[in-house]
Amino acid sequence: MSEPEIKVGTSSSASFHRAPMAPAMPGGRASSSYGLSVTDDIDARIWERIKDHPCFSEQAHHYFARMHVAVAPACNIQCNYCNRKYDCTNESRPGVASVKLTPDQAVRKVLAVASKVPELSVVGVAGPGDACYDWRKTVATFEGVAREIPDIRLCISTNGLALPDHVDELADMNVDHVTITINMVDPEVGAKIYPWILHGHRRYTGIEGARILHERQMLGLEMLTKRGILTKINSVMIPGVNDTHLVEVNRWIRDRGAFMHNVVPLISKPSHGTYYGLTGQRCPEPFELKALQDCLDGNVKLMRHCQQCRADAIGLLGDDREREFALDQISTRVKFDTRKREAYRKLVQHERGDQLAAKLDANKAVRSLGSSGTLAVAVATKGGGRINEHFGQARELQVYAVSRKGINLVGHRKVEQYCLGGLGEKATLDHTIVALDGIDILLSSKIGDCPKKRLAETGVRASDAFSYSYIETAIGALYAAEFGGKPAMPTALGPSN
Amino acid sequence: MAFKIIVSQCTQCGACEFECPSDAISFKGEGYVVDSKKCTECKGEFDTQQCASVCPMPKTCVPA
Protein backbone atom coordinates (compact mmCIF):
# COMPACT_ATOMS: atom_id res chain seq x y z
CA MET A 1 0.00 0.00 0.00
CA SER A 2 1.95 2.96 -1.13
CA GLU A 3 -0.04 6.00 -0.15
CA PRO A 4 0.59 9.11 -2.18
CA GLU A 5 2.46 11.61 -0.15
CA ILE A 6 0.44 14.68 0.59
CA LYS A 7 2.30 17.93 0.56
CA VAL A 8 0.73 21.25 1.09
CA GLY A 9 1.47 24.24 -1.03
CA THR A 10 3.68 22.50 -3.57
CA SER A 11 1.38 22.14 -6.48
CA SER A 12 3.71 21.24 -9.29
CA SER A 13 6.45 19.45 -7.37
CA ALA A 14 4.13 17.32 -5.28
CA SER A 15 4.89 13.66 -5.72
CA PHE A 16 1.30 12.96 -6.48
CA HIS A 17 0.14 12.46 -10.01
CA ARG A 18 -3.54 12.53 -10.40
CA ALA A 19 -4.88 10.08 -12.89
CA PRO A 20 -7.19 11.67 -15.41
CA MET A 21 -10.77 11.11 -14.41
CA ALA A 22 -11.85 7.83 -15.83
CA PRO A 23 -15.52 7.26 -16.58
CA ALA A 24 -17.28 5.90 -13.53
CA MET A 25 -18.21 2.69 -15.23
CA PRO A 26 -15.77 1.74 -17.96
CA GLY A 27 -17.23 -0.91 -20.15
CA GLY A 28 -20.49 -0.98 -18.27
CA ARG A 29 -21.72 -3.66 -15.95
CA ALA A 30 -22.11 -6.28 -18.63
CA SER A 31 -18.37 -6.76 -18.86
CA SER A 32 -18.05 -8.00 -15.33
CA SER A 33 -18.63 -11.51 -14.21
CA TYR A 34 -20.06 -10.48 -10.85
CA GLY A 35 -22.87 -8.08 -10.28
CA LEU A 36 -21.38 -6.00 -7.55
CA SER A 37 -17.81 -6.72 -6.66
CA VAL A 38 -16.06 -3.70 -5.29
CA THR A 39 -13.82 -3.39 -8.27
CA ASP A 40 -15.85 -4.51 -11.24
CA ASP A 41 -17.44 -1.23 -12.11
CA ILE A 42 -14.65 1.01 -10.86
CA ASP A 43 -11.39 1.67 -12.55
CA ALA A 44 -8.44 0.30 -10.58
CA ARG A 45 -6.93 3.75 -10.17
CA ILE A 46 -10.18 5.09 -8.82
CA TRP A 47 -10.43 2.17 -6.42
CA GLU A 48 -6.97 3.03 -5.12
CA ARG A 49 -8.27 6.50 -4.30
CA ILE A 50 -11.54 5.53 -2.65
CA LYS A 51 -10.66 2.32 -0.86
CA ASP A 52 -9.86 4.08 2.42
CA HIS A 53 -12.68 6.62 2.28
CA PRO A 54 -15.75 5.42 4.18
CA CYS A 55 -18.12 7.79 2.39
CA PHE A 56 -16.91 7.18 -1.15
CA SER A 57 -16.62 3.42 -0.83
CA GLU A 58 -19.28 1.25 0.75
CA GLN A 59 -16.65 -1.40 1.36
CA ALA A 60 -14.26 1.02 3.06
CA HIS A 61 -16.88 2.06 5.56
CA HIS A 62 -16.55 -1.29 7.26
CA TYR A 63 -12.90 -0.58 8.02
CA PHE A 64 -12.17 3.10 8.04
CA ALA A 65 -13.32 6.04 10.07
CA ARG A 66 -13.75 9.69 9.27
CA MET A 67 -13.53 12.72 11.44
CA HIS A 68 -15.22 16.03 10.85
CA VAL A 69 -13.69 19.10 12.37
CA ALA A 70 -16.21 21.85 12.95
CA VAL A 71 -14.02 24.80 12.02
CA ALA A 72 -16.24 26.50 9.44
CA PRO A 73 -19.39 27.87 11.06
CA ALA A 74 -20.10 30.76 8.68
CA CYS A 75 -22.44 30.14 5.78
CA ASN A 76 -23.39 32.04 2.65
CA ILE A 77 -26.72 30.34 2.03
CA GLN A 78 -29.88 29.88 4.02
CA CYS A 79 -31.43 26.49 3.38
CA ASN A 80 -34.97 25.78 4.50
CA TYR A 81 -33.89 22.47 6.05
CA CYS A 82 -31.01 23.86 8.07
CA ASN A 83 -30.80 25.55 11.42
CA ARG A 84 -27.53 25.50 13.28
CA LYS A 85 -28.91 27.23 16.34
CA TYR A 86 -30.25 24.12 18.05
CA ASP A 87 -27.92 21.33 19.02
CA CYS A 88 -28.94 18.58 21.33
CA THR A 89 -26.02 16.21 21.88
CA ASN A 90 -28.24 13.25 21.07
CA GLU A 91 -29.09 14.75 17.75
CA SER A 92 -27.29 13.48 14.70
CA ARG A 93 -27.88 15.50 11.59
CA PRO A 94 -25.75 17.54 9.24
CA GLY A 95 -25.09 21.10 10.31
CA VAL A 96 -25.05 20.23 13.98
CA ALA A 97 -21.88 20.60 16.04
CA SER A 98 -21.50 20.85 19.80
CA VAL A 99 -18.41 23.03 19.82
CA LYS A 100 -16.83 25.12 17.12
CA LEU A 101 -13.08 24.71 16.87
CA THR A 102 -10.31 27.06 15.88
CA PRO A 103 -7.93 25.56 13.32
CA ASP A 104 -5.30 25.04 16.06
CA GLN A 105 -7.75 23.23 18.29
CA ALA A 106 -8.88 21.16 15.32
CA VAL A 107 -5.33 19.98 14.54
CA ARG A 108 -4.80 19.01 18.16
CA LYS A 109 -8.04 17.10 18.20
CA VAL A 110 -7.18 15.28 14.97
CA LEU A 111 -3.89 14.14 16.49
CA ALA A 112 -5.60 12.94 19.66
CA VAL A 113 -8.18 11.00 17.66
CA ALA A 114 -5.63 9.56 15.21
CA SER A 115 -3.64 8.18 18.16
CA LYS A 116 -6.68 6.48 19.66
CA VAL A 117 -8.66 5.50 16.57
CA PRO A 118 -6.33 3.65 14.19
CA GLU A 119 -9.20 3.33 11.69
CA LEU A 120 -9.06 7.08 11.02
CA SER A 121 -8.33 7.67 7.34
CA VAL A 122 -10.17 10.85 6.45
CA VAL A 123 -10.37 14.32 7.96
CA GLY A 124 -13.07 16.52 6.54
CA VAL A 125 -14.45 19.99 6.97
CA ALA A 126 -18.22 19.76 6.67
CA GLY A 127 -19.32 22.94 8.30
CA PRO A 128 -21.35 23.50 10.42
CA GLY A 129 -21.47 26.32 7.83
CA ASP A 130 -19.75 26.12 4.48
CA ALA A 131 -16.15 24.96 4.11
CA CYS A 132 -15.52 26.98 0.93
CA TYR A 133 -17.11 30.16 2.23
CA ASP A 134 -15.32 30.08 5.61
CA TRP A 135 -12.25 29.29 3.57
CA ARG A 136 -9.39 30.69 5.64
CA LYS A 137 -10.24 28.43 8.56
CA THR A 138 -10.57 25.41 6.30
CA VAL A 139 -7.15 26.06 4.76
CA ALA A 140 -5.44 26.66 8.09
CA THR A 141 -6.85 23.39 9.40
CA PHE A 142 -5.86 21.35 6.36
CA GLU A 143 -2.35 22.73 6.35
CA GLY A 144 -1.88 21.80 10.00
CA VAL A 145 -3.34 18.30 9.62
CA ALA A 146 -1.34 17.48 6.47
CA ARG A 147 1.86 18.62 8.17
CA GLU A 148 1.31 16.33 11.17
CA ILE A 149 -0.23 13.28 9.45
CA PRO A 150 0.87 13.22 5.82
CA ASP A 151 -0.97 10.00 4.95
CA ILE A 152 -4.41 11.22 5.94
CA ARG A 153 -6.95 12.09 3.27
CA LEU A 154 -8.53 15.50 3.28
CA CYS A 155 -12.00 16.24 2.05
CA ILE A 156 -14.60 18.97 2.18
CA SER A 157 -18.31 19.31 1.93
CA THR A 158 -19.77 22.46 0.41
CA ASN A 159 -22.93 24.00 -0.97
CA GLY A 160 -20.93 24.97 -4.07
CA LEU A 161 -21.61 28.70 -4.12
CA ALA A 162 -18.03 29.72 -3.28
CA LEU A 163 -16.50 26.54 -4.69
CA PRO A 164 -15.32 27.87 -8.09
CA ASP A 165 -13.14 30.44 -6.26
CA HIS A 166 -11.13 27.72 -4.53
CA VAL A 167 -10.85 24.75 -6.90
CA ASP A 168 -7.23 25.50 -7.74
CA GLU A 169 -6.27 25.73 -4.09
CA LEU A 170 -8.11 22.49 -3.33
CA ALA A 171 -6.12 20.75 -6.04
CA ASP A 172 -2.88 22.22 -4.70
CA MET A 173 -3.65 20.94 -1.22
CA ASN A 174 -4.37 17.43 -2.55
CA VAL A 175 -7.96 17.56 -1.43
CA ASP A 176 -9.07 14.59 -3.46
CA HIS A 177 -12.68 14.19 -2.37
CA VAL A 178 -15.28 16.94 -2.52
CA THR A 179 -18.95 16.68 -1.67
CA ILE A 180 -21.34 19.25 -3.13
CA THR A 181 -24.92 19.46 -1.96
CA ILE A 182 -27.05 19.96 -5.07
CA ASN A 183 -30.79 19.86 -4.59
CA MET A 184 -31.98 21.30 -7.87
CA VAL A 185 -31.04 22.30 -11.39
CA ASP A 186 -34.19 24.34 -11.93
CA PRO A 187 -34.12 27.72 -10.12
CA GLU A 188 -37.90 27.57 -9.72
CA VAL A 189 -37.44 24.50 -7.56
CA GLY A 190 -34.44 26.11 -5.89
CA ALA A 191 -36.49 29.11 -4.81
CA LYS A 192 -38.58 26.75 -2.66
CA ILE A 193 -35.48 25.42 -0.91
CA TYR A 194 -33.24 28.48 -0.55
CA PRO A 195 -34.76 31.73 0.75
CA TRP A 196 -31.54 33.62 0.08
CA ILE A 197 -27.89 33.40 -0.85
CA LEU A 198 -25.01 35.80 -0.30
CA HIS A 199 -22.78 36.27 -3.32
CA GLY A 200 -20.35 39.08 -4.10
CA HIS A 201 -21.33 40.95 -0.92
CA ARG A 202 -24.97 41.02 -1.90
CA ARG A 203 -27.97 39.07 -0.77
CA TYR A 204 -30.08 37.55 -3.54
CA THR A 205 -33.49 36.02 -2.92
CA GLY A 206 -35.93 33.79 -4.75
CA ILE A 207 -35.33 32.59 -8.28
CA GLU A 208 -32.49 35.04 -8.84
CA GLY A 209 -30.56 33.62 -5.89
CA ALA A 210 -31.29 30.03 -6.87
CA ARG A 211 -30.14 30.68 -10.43
CA ILE A 212 -26.79 32.05 -9.27
CA LEU A 213 -26.36 29.09 -6.95
CA HIS A 214 -27.21 26.63 -9.72
CA GLU A 215 -24.72 28.21 -12.15
CA ARG A 216 -21.96 28.26 -9.54
CA GLN A 217 -22.62 24.63 -8.57
CA MET A 218 -22.40 23.42 -12.15
CA LEU A 219 -19.25 25.49 -12.78
CA GLY A 220 -17.63 24.16 -9.60
CA LEU A 221 -18.47 20.56 -10.51
CA GLU A 222 -17.08 20.95 -14.02
CA MET A 223 -13.87 22.51 -12.66
CA LEU A 224 -13.38 19.65 -10.19
CA THR A 225 -13.99 17.03 -12.88
CA LYS A 226 -11.46 18.71 -15.15
CA ARG A 227 -8.84 18.42 -12.42
CA GLY A 228 -9.66 14.78 -11.69
CA ILE A 229 -10.96 15.44 -8.18
CA LEU A 230 -13.61 12.92 -7.14
CA THR A 231 -16.99 14.47 -6.42
CA LYS A 232 -19.90 13.15 -4.48
CA ILE A 233 -23.20 14.94 -4.90
CA ASN A 234 -25.52 15.00 -1.92
CA SER A 235 -29.18 15.72 -2.64
CA VAL A 236 -31.73 16.23 0.09
CA MET A 237 -34.98 14.54 -0.89
CA ILE A 238 -37.87 16.83 0.01
CA PRO A 239 -41.29 15.31 -0.78
CA GLY A 240 -43.40 17.54 -2.99
CA VAL A 241 -40.53 19.99 -3.54
CA ASN A 242 -37.70 18.22 -5.37
CA ASP A 243 -38.34 14.49 -5.08
CA THR A 244 -39.22 13.86 -8.71
CA HIS A 245 -36.86 16.62 -9.85
CA LEU A 246 -33.86 14.72 -8.47
CA VAL A 247 -33.97 12.42 -11.52
CA GLU A 248 -33.14 15.51 -13.59
CA VAL A 249 -30.42 16.51 -11.10
CA ASN A 250 -28.94 13.04 -11.44
CA ARG A 251 -28.73 13.45 -15.22
CA TRP A 252 -27.02 16.86 -14.97
CA ILE A 253 -24.40 15.74 -12.52
CA ARG A 254 -23.66 12.55 -14.44
CA ASP A 255 -23.10 14.60 -17.59
CA ARG A 256 -20.62 16.73 -15.65
CA GLY A 257 -18.55 13.85 -14.36
CA ALA A 258 -19.80 13.41 -10.80
CA PHE A 259 -18.43 10.22 -9.28
CA MET A 260 -21.21 9.42 -6.85
CA HIS A 261 -24.74 10.51 -6.03
CA ASN A 262 -26.05 10.34 -2.49
CA VAL A 263 -29.73 11.02 -2.00
CA VAL A 264 -30.42 11.72 1.66
CA PRO A 265 -33.87 11.99 3.19
CA LEU A 266 -34.91 15.34 4.64
CA ILE A 267 -34.58 15.42 8.42
CA SER A 268 -37.19 17.75 9.80
CA LYS A 269 -38.79 18.04 13.20
CA PRO A 270 -40.49 21.10 14.67
CA SER A 271 -37.94 20.99 17.51
CA HIS A 272 -35.09 21.58 15.05
CA GLY A 273 -36.54 25.02 14.40
CA THR A 274 -35.95 24.92 10.65
CA TYR A 275 -38.34 26.51 8.17
CA TYR A 276 -39.46 23.08 7.01
CA GLY A 277 -39.73 21.87 10.59
CA LEU A 278 -42.01 24.77 11.46
CA THR A 279 -44.13 24.59 8.33
CA GLY A 280 -44.74 20.88 8.77
CA GLN A 281 -42.92 19.76 5.63
CA ARG A 282 -42.94 15.97 5.83
CA CYS A 283 -39.87 13.75 5.47
CA PRO A 284 -39.74 10.97 2.88
CA GLU A 285 -40.62 7.44 3.97
CA PRO A 286 -37.90 4.80 3.57
CA PHE A 287 -39.78 3.15 0.68
CA GLU A 288 -40.02 6.48 -1.17
CA LEU A 289 -36.29 7.01 -0.82
CA LYS A 290 -35.60 3.50 -2.03
CA ALA A 291 -37.95 3.90 -5.02
CA LEU A 292 -36.12 7.07 -6.03
CA GLN A 293 -32.71 5.46 -5.57
CA ASP A 294 -33.81 2.49 -7.65
CA CYS A 295 -34.84 4.67 -10.54
CA LEU A 296 -31.48 6.49 -10.41
CA ASP A 297 -29.56 3.22 -10.32
CA GLY A 298 -27.26 2.60 -13.24
CA ASN A 299 -26.49 6.20 -14.09
CA VAL A 300 -23.87 7.31 -11.62
CA LYS A 301 -22.68 5.35 -8.60
CA LEU A 302 -25.24 5.60 -5.83
CA MET A 303 -24.30 5.87 -2.19
CA ARG A 304 -26.62 3.81 -0.04
CA HIS A 305 -24.74 3.63 3.24
CA CYS A 306 -24.93 7.29 4.25
CA GLN A 307 -25.57 7.98 7.92
CA GLN A 308 -26.22 11.73 7.68
CA CYS A 309 -23.64 12.42 10.32
CA ARG A 310 -23.04 15.51 12.43
CA ALA A 311 -20.69 18.27 11.38
CA ASP A 312 -18.36 17.07 14.16
CA ALA A 313 -18.78 13.30 13.86
CA ILE A 314 -15.85 11.01 14.69
CA GLY A 315 -15.39 7.31 14.02
CA LEU A 316 -16.86 4.66 11.78
CA LEU A 317 -20.07 5.64 10.00
CA GLY A 318 -22.93 4.71 12.29
CA ASP A 319 -20.75 4.67 15.41
CA ASP A 320 -20.17 8.26 16.38
CA ARG A 321 -17.49 8.64 19.04
CA GLU A 322 -17.58 12.42 19.09
CA ARG A 323 -18.38 12.54 22.79
CA GLU A 324 -15.21 10.66 23.71
CA PHE A 325 -13.11 13.50 22.44
CA ALA A 326 -14.32 16.61 24.18
CA LEU A 327 -11.88 19.41 23.60
CA ASP A 328 -11.29 20.14 27.26
CA GLN A 329 -10.13 16.55 27.74
CA ILE A 330 -7.46 16.83 25.10
CA SER A 331 -4.16 17.94 26.50
CA THR A 332 -2.33 20.72 24.77
CA ARG A 333 0.58 18.45 23.97
CA VAL A 334 -0.68 15.40 22.16
CA LYS A 335 1.77 12.59 21.61
CA PHE A 336 1.06 11.11 18.24
CA ASP A 337 1.86 7.44 17.91
CA THR A 338 1.80 6.11 14.36
CA ARG A 339 2.51 2.45 15.16
CA LYS A 340 -1.11 1.56 15.86
CA ARG A 341 -2.18 3.09 12.58
CA GLU A 342 0.39 1.14 10.61
CA ALA A 343 -0.48 -2.15 12.30
CA TYR A 344 -4.16 -1.58 11.63
CA ARG A 345 -3.56 -0.88 7.97
CA LYS A 346 -1.67 -4.14 7.56
CA LEU A 347 -4.47 -6.04 9.26
CA VAL A 348 -7.11 -4.44 7.06
CA GLN A 349 -5.22 -5.26 3.92
CA HIS A 350 -5.23 -8.92 4.85
CA GLU A 351 -8.78 -9.09 6.16
CA ARG A 352 -10.06 -7.20 3.19
CA GLY A 353 -8.60 -9.67 0.71
CA ASP A 354 -10.41 -12.44 2.57
CA GLN A 355 -13.65 -10.57 2.68
CA LEU A 356 -13.55 -9.67 -0.96
CA ALA A 357 -12.93 -13.30 -1.93
CA ALA A 358 -15.80 -14.45 0.30
CA LYS A 359 -18.08 -11.81 -1.17
CA LEU A 360 -17.24 -12.74 -4.74
CA ASP A 361 -17.76 -16.43 -4.01
CA ALA A 362 -21.12 -15.84 -2.37
CA ASN A 363 -22.31 -13.68 -5.25
CA LYS A 364 -21.18 -16.18 -7.81
CA ALA A 365 -23.06 -18.95 -6.01
CA VAL A 366 -26.23 -16.88 -5.76
CA ARG A 367 -26.11 -15.95 -9.41
CA SER A 368 -25.41 -19.46 -10.56
CA LEU A 369 -28.65 -20.67 -8.96
CA GLY A 370 -30.55 -18.56 -11.47
CA SER A 371 -33.52 -18.55 -9.13
CA SER A 372 -36.28 -15.98 -9.40
CA GLY A 373 -36.60 -15.88 -5.62
CA THR A 374 -35.76 -12.81 -3.60
CA LEU A 375 -34.86 -12.32 0.04
CA ALA A 376 -34.58 -9.23 2.19
CA VAL A 377 -32.04 -9.70 4.95
CA ALA A 378 -31.30 -7.34 7.84
CA VAL A 379 -27.88 -7.62 9.47
CA ALA A 380 -26.56 -6.36 12.79
CA THR A 381 -22.89 -5.51 12.31
CA LYS A 382 -20.20 -3.48 13.98
CA GLY A 383 -18.12 -3.42 10.82
CA GLY A 384 -15.46 -5.47 9.10
CA GLY A 385 -18.11 -7.02 6.86
CA ARG A 386 -19.05 -9.55 9.54
CA ILE A 387 -22.22 -10.40 11.45
CA ASN A 388 -20.77 -9.33 14.77
CA GLU A 389 -23.30 -7.35 16.74
CA HIS A 390 -25.81 -8.50 19.34
CA PHE A 391 -29.41 -7.84 18.31
CA GLY A 392 -30.02 -6.09 21.60
CA GLN A 393 -27.08 -3.74 21.09
CA ALA A 394 -27.78 -2.76 17.50
CA ARG A 395 -28.79 0.79 16.81
CA GLU A 396 -29.11 0.18 13.12
CA LEU A 397 -29.45 -2.73 10.78
CA GLN A 398 -28.03 -3.04 7.30
CA VAL A 399 -30.48 -4.27 4.72
CA TYR A 400 -29.41 -6.55 1.89
CA ALA A 401 -31.54 -7.60 -1.05
CA VAL A 402 -30.74 -10.95 -2.62
CA SER A 403 -31.89 -11.99 -6.04
CA ARG A 404 -30.43 -13.54 -9.17
CA LYS A 405 -28.55 -10.26 -9.58
CA GLY A 406 -26.54 -11.03 -6.48
CA ILE A 407 -26.33 -9.75 -2.91
CA ASN A 408 -26.80 -6.01 -2.68
CA LEU A 409 -26.68 -3.59 0.21
CA VAL A 410 -29.80 -1.51 -0.31
CA GLY A 411 -29.91 0.63 2.80
CA HIS A 412 -29.99 0.70 6.54
CA ARG A 413 -32.72 1.04 9.13
CA LYS A 414 -32.41 2.76 12.44
CA VAL A 415 -33.68 0.83 15.44
CA GLU A 416 -33.75 1.68 19.10
CA GLN A 417 -31.39 -0.30 21.26
CA TYR A 418 -33.46 -3.17 22.60
CA CYS A 419 -31.25 -4.05 25.55
CA LEU A 420 -30.75 -1.32 28.08
CA GLY A 421 -28.98 -2.50 31.19
CA GLY A 422 -29.56 -6.14 30.33
CA LEU A 423 -33.34 -5.98 30.11
CA GLY A 424 -35.24 -6.06 26.87
CA GLU A 425 -37.89 -3.39 26.53
CA LYS A 426 -41.17 -4.56 25.09
CA ALA A 427 -42.13 -1.16 23.70
CA THR A 428 -38.78 -0.92 21.93
CA LEU A 429 -39.30 -4.30 20.38
CA ASP A 430 -42.65 -3.18 18.97
CA HIS A 431 -40.85 -0.27 17.39
CA THR A 432 -38.19 -2.54 15.94
CA ILE A 433 -40.85 -4.80 14.45
CA VAL A 434 -42.24 -1.82 12.56
CA ALA A 435 -38.74 -0.94 11.37
CA LEU A 436 -38.28 -4.50 10.09
CA ASP A 437 -41.31 -4.31 7.81
CA GLY A 438 -40.65 -6.28 4.65
CA ILE A 439 -37.60 -8.10 6.02
CA ASP A 440 -37.52 -11.90 5.71
CA ILE A 441 -34.48 -12.75 7.80
CA LEU A 442 -32.59 -11.00 10.57
CA LEU A 443 -28.99 -11.97 11.28
CA SER A 444 -27.06 -10.98 14.39
CA SER A 445 -24.25 -12.39 16.48
CA LYS A 446 -26.68 -13.20 19.28
CA ILE A 447 -30.39 -12.86 19.90
CA GLY A 448 -32.53 -13.90 22.88
CA ASP A 449 -35.32 -16.42 22.61
CA CYS A 450 -38.01 -13.92 23.53
CA PRO A 451 -37.38 -11.36 20.79
CA LYS A 452 -36.73 -14.22 18.40
CA LYS A 453 -40.18 -15.64 19.08
CA ARG A 454 -41.86 -12.23 18.81
CA LEU A 455 -40.14 -11.57 15.50
CA ALA A 456 -41.15 -14.99 14.20
CA GLU A 457 -44.78 -14.15 14.93
CA THR A 458 -44.49 -11.14 12.62
CA GLY A 459 -42.85 -13.16 9.87
CA VAL A 460 -39.23 -12.21 10.47
CA ARG A 461 -36.95 -15.19 10.95
CA ALA A 462 -34.12 -14.25 13.28
CA SER A 463 -30.93 -16.23 13.62
CA ASP A 464 -27.59 -16.06 15.35
CA ALA A 465 -26.28 -19.20 13.67
CA PHE A 466 -23.99 -17.17 11.43
CA SER A 467 -22.33 -15.34 14.26
CA TYR A 468 -19.06 -13.74 13.15
CA SER A 469 -19.36 -15.00 9.55
CA TYR A 470 -18.85 -12.68 6.64
CA ILE A 471 -22.18 -11.10 5.77
CA GLU A 472 -22.26 -12.19 2.13
CA THR A 473 -21.18 -15.75 2.93
CA ALA A 474 -24.04 -16.14 5.39
CA ILE A 475 -26.61 -14.56 3.11
CA GLY A 476 -25.42 -16.67 0.18
CA ALA A 477 -25.84 -19.87 2.23
CA LEU A 478 -29.33 -18.85 3.31
CA TYR A 479 -30.35 -18.04 -0.23
CA ALA A 480 -29.05 -21.38 -1.45
CA ALA A 481 -31.01 -23.13 1.31
CA GLU A 482 -34.15 -21.27 0.36
CA PHE A 483 -34.04 -21.43 -3.40
CA GLY A 484 -31.38 -23.92 -4.36
CA GLY A 485 -32.36 -26.86 -2.18
CA LYS A 486 -28.97 -26.87 -0.49
CA PRO A 487 -28.86 -26.92 3.28
CA ALA A 488 -27.70 -23.72 4.90
CA MET A 489 -25.19 -24.08 7.68
CA PRO A 490 -26.26 -26.49 10.43
CA THR A 491 -29.00 -25.22 12.72
CA ALA A 492 -29.20 -22.08 10.67
CA LEU A 493 -32.76 -21.03 11.17
CA GLY A 494 -34.40 -23.69 13.22
CA PRO A 495 -35.89 -22.85 16.58
CA SER A 496 -33.20 -22.97 19.23
CA ASN A 497 -34.35 -26.10 20.97
CA MET B 1 -24.77 55.00 13.88
CA ALA B 2 -24.09 51.35 14.27
CA PHE B 3 -25.59 47.90 14.21
CA LYS B 4 -26.10 45.51 17.09
CA ILE B 5 -26.60 41.77 17.48
CA ILE B 6 -29.38 40.38 19.63
CA VAL B 7 -27.43 37.72 21.46
CA SER B 8 -30.37 35.51 22.47
CA GLN B 9 -31.27 34.89 18.83
CA CYS B 10 -27.72 34.66 17.47
CA THR B 11 -26.65 31.22 16.19
CA GLN B 12 -23.01 32.26 16.58
CA CYS B 13 -22.22 31.19 13.05
CA GLY B 14 -19.70 34.00 12.74
CA ALA B 15 -20.58 34.95 9.18
CA CYS B 16 -21.00 38.60 10.24
CA GLU B 17 -17.49 38.76 11.66
CA PHE B 18 -16.27 37.24 8.45
CA GLU B 19 -18.09 39.74 6.19
CA CYS B 20 -17.67 42.97 8.18
CA PRO B 21 -15.48 45.30 6.11
CA SER B 22 -14.66 47.46 9.15
CA ASP B 23 -13.44 44.67 11.44
CA ALA B 24 -16.06 45.86 13.92
CA ILE B 25 -17.45 42.45 14.94
CA SER B 26 -15.72 40.10 17.33
CA PHE B 27 -16.52 37.22 19.65
CA LYS B 28 -16.57 38.32 23.27
CA GLY B 29 -17.67 36.17 26.18
CA GLU B 30 -20.98 34.61 25.22
CA GLY B 31 -21.51 35.96 21.75
CA TYR B 32 -20.65 38.30 18.93
CA VAL B 33 -20.63 42.03 19.56
CA VAL B 34 -20.46 45.03 17.27
CA ASP B 35 -17.98 47.74 18.20
CA SER B 36 -20.07 50.86 17.69
CA LYS B 37 -16.96 53.00 17.29
CA LYS B 38 -15.80 50.97 14.31
CA CYS B 39 -19.18 50.23 12.69
CA THR B 40 -19.84 52.39 9.63
CA GLU B 41 -23.03 50.57 8.59
CA CYS B 42 -21.01 49.82 5.46
CA LYS B 43 -21.63 53.35 4.16
CA GLY B 44 -19.54 54.07 1.12
CA GLU B 45 -18.49 50.46 0.79
CA PHE B 46 -21.60 48.40 0.14
CA ASP B 47 -25.25 49.04 -0.66
CA THR B 48 -26.40 46.85 2.21
CA GLN B 49 -25.06 46.23 5.68
CA GLN B 50 -22.94 43.12 5.30
CA CYS B 51 -23.59 41.71 8.79
CA ALA B 52 -27.36 41.95 8.40
CA SER B 53 -27.19 40.58 4.85
CA VAL B 54 -25.46 37.42 5.88
CA CYS B 55 -27.19 36.82 9.22
CA PRO B 56 -29.26 33.60 8.99
CA MET B 57 -31.66 34.69 11.75
CA PRO B 58 -34.35 37.27 10.96
CA LYS B 59 -34.22 40.52 12.96
CA THR B 60 -31.09 39.53 14.85
CA CYS B 61 -28.55 41.91 13.36
CA VAL B 62 -30.37 45.25 13.54
CA PRO B 63 -29.75 49.01 13.75
CA ALA B 64 -28.70 49.91 17.28
**A72 within 8 A of A117, measured Cβ to Cβ:** no
d(CA B51, CA A480): 64
Is the CB of residue A98 less than 8 Å away from at least one CB of chain B? Answer: no
C-alpha distance across the termini of chain B, in Å? 7
- What's the confidence (pLDDT) of residue A326? 78
Tell me if A74 and B18 make a contact (CB, 8 A cut-off).
yes
**pLDDT reported for residue A228:** 92
Distance CA A120, CA A111 (A): 10
Q: Do B11 and A84 touch (CB under 8 A)?
A: yes
Residues in chain A closer than 8 A to B61 (CB atoms):
none
A202 touches chain B (CB under 8 A): yes
Query: Shortest CB distance from A76 goes to which of B14, B48, B54?
Result: B54
Q: Mind telling me how many Å the CA of B3 is from chain A's nearest CA?
A: 17
Question: So what's the pLDDT on residue A426?
Answer: 73
Which residue in chain B is spatially nearest to A205 when comparing CA positions? Answer: B53
Q: Work out whether the CA dihedral A115, A131, A182, A90 comes out positive or negative.
A: positive
- Is the backbone peptide bond immediately before A128 cis, with ω within 30 degrees of 0? yes
Whether A134 and B18 lie within 8 Å, measured CB to CB = yes
Residues A75, B13: C-beta atoms closer than 8 Å: yes
Nearest to A129 among B15, B46, B50 (CB): B15
Q: Do A134 and B56 touch (CB under 8 A)?
A: no
Nearest alpha-carbon partner for A8 in A151, A147, A176, A121: A147
Which among B14, B47, B56 has CB closest to A78?
A: B56
CB atoms within 10 A of CB A486: 12
What pLDDT shows up at residue A134?
92
Q: Which secondary structure element, helix H or strand E, spans residue A197, and what is its range?
A: strand A196-199
Running along chain A, 497 residues long, what does each successive block of 10 average in pLDDT? 35 34 35 35 76 86 88 91 72 73 92 89 90 94 94 94 96 94 97 94 93 97 95 95 95 94 91 89 90 83 85 81 76 74 86 85 90 92 87 88 90 77 70 86 92 91 92 93 70 43
Print burial letters for A29-57: b (CB count within 10 Å at least 16), e (below 16).
eeeeebbbbbeebbbeebeebbbbbbbbb
CATH number for the domain harbouring residue B50: 3.30.70.20
Q: How close B24 comes to chain A (CA, Å)?
A: 16
Q: The domain containing residue B6 runs over which residues?
A: 1-61
Of B12, B15, B17, the CB nearest to A75: B15
Task: Note whether A198 contacts B: Cβ–Cβ < 8 A.
Answer: yes
Q: Which of B12, B53, B57 sits opposite A198 (nearest CB)?
A: B53
User: B50, A100: Cβ pair inside 8 Å?
Assistant: no
pLDDT at res. A35: 31
pLDDT of residue A5: 37
Q: Which residues of A touch B53 (CB under 8 A)?
A: 198, 201-203
A75–B18 CB contact, under 8 Å? no
Q: How many domains does chain B have?
A: 1
